[in-house]
Structure 1
Amino acid sequence: MFDLVFVTLDAEECSRYRDWFHDPELARRINYPDSDWFDYISTSPHVHTWMIYAEVGPVGVIQFEKNNRQASFSIAVNRRLRGQGYGKRIMRAFLTLPEVRAVSCVHAGVELDNLQSMRCLQAAGFTLQSTIPDEHGFLEFVYHFNRAQADADQAEAEQEQS
């Protein structure tokens, strides 16, 4: 199996990514990558954005944002390749990147009707934090690199709720 290659999103890659937004499903879930967005991801030292390639060409894009020891990300899978396991492959490779491993946990928000993303995250080892959506209508999933920290975070969350 061809290894995935993560390429920093430059102007050429961004143009290719913009073409994906003819897909109404993607356009509904992720904001269009306009010039302000590109400037932001290109100049912010805490943001990494990659176009991911496989043997079939570009398979996905990930935007990763660090905030101290935590991070969040968004992922888009090429429309013509959805349902073929590329999301899971991307997530597994993403979690091995040095930039990602430098944080203690990674958060992802998923809309209630995005079952495919939920399955993808759970297959990669993410844990659903609550079945109640946040104020934006998203379910929160978290991946902890350090299980002891995960247990401590869970205990703290349970104390806050009681």
Structure 2
Amino acid sequence: MSVVLIDNLRPFTERDLAMLEDWFKDAEVHRRLEGMLPLGDWYRHVEQHPGYDVWVAFSEGEAVGVIMIEREGQNTGSIAIVVNPSIRGKGYGRAVVGKAMQLPELGTIYKWYAGIEADNAACLKCFQSAGFVLENEAPDEDGYFSLWHIANINV
């Protein structure tokens, strides 16, 4: 498998909604992230909440994913991603997560959290390959696994 490189992360803008709407035509994306619908309302929520940041990830000039990070306190961030359905399963998700966790503006976050549905094997594999570990071996009562990535910090 070749190494995927993310060239750039730029803030999500209203112009990106059309691309995301297109990705939501994919049944898997729609099923996993339908809580974001309608996307126009979701985008207004993003704009109005300063601790909630969204970026579009690019590889070789093409948009390959969208990553959403919500800051929960000074040092904790919650991550969710969506990868362009046409390139799923090729390592783009892991690369996007890794690149986002290195953003200077997120430098105070060292505890990263992802809540993933128990039946979403691809997403579980993605986050585990990015260094996230399961909090428990069984999903919670809502059917989600909690995964954490604690960065090494020198205090």
Q: TM-score under structure 1 normalisation?
A: 0.84
What is the identity, as a one-letter code, of the residue corresponding to 1:79?
P
Is 1:132 the counterpart of 2:133? The answer is no
- Identity among equivalent positions (%) equals 31
What is the identity, as a one-letter code, of the residue corresponding to 1:12?
R
1:99 counterpart residue number: 105
Stretches of structure 2 that go unaligned for 5 or more consecutive residues are none
1:142 counterpart residue number: 148
Is 1:11 the counterpart of 2:14? The answer is yes
Question: What do the CA deviations read for 1:81-126 (whole angstroms, capped 9, x no partner)?
Answer: 1111111211211111123331130100111111111111111111
Question: What do the CA deviations read for 1:9-31 (whole angstroms, capped 9, x no partner)?
Answer: 11111221111100000001013
Which of residues 84, 98, 101 in structure 2 aligns to 1:78?
84
1:18-37 to structure 2, matched below 5 A, reads 18-31=21-34, 32-37=37-42
Which protein has greater RCO, CA pairs closer than 8 Å, 6+ apart? Answer: 2
**Aligned residues: CA RMSD:** 2.0
Moved over 4 A (4+): none
What is the identity, as a one-letter code, of the residue corresponding to 2:29?
L
2:69 counterpart residue number: 64
Is 1:123 the counterpart of 2:126? The answer is no
Would you tell me which structure has more helix in proportion to its own residues?
1
Which of residues 39, 43, 48 in structure 1 aligns to 2:48?
43
Give the 3-state SS of the residue equivalent to 1:146 in structure 2. Answer: coil
Name whichever of 26-35 and 58-67 sits farther off: 26-35
Question: What do the CA deviations read for 1:9-55 (whole angstroms, capped 9, x no partner)?
Answer: 11111221111100000001013352221111112110100111111
Q: Name the larger-Rg structure.
A: 1
Matched positions, count: 149
Distance 1:122 1:7, change over 3 A: same
What is the identity, as a one-letter code, of the residue corresponding to 2:51?
H
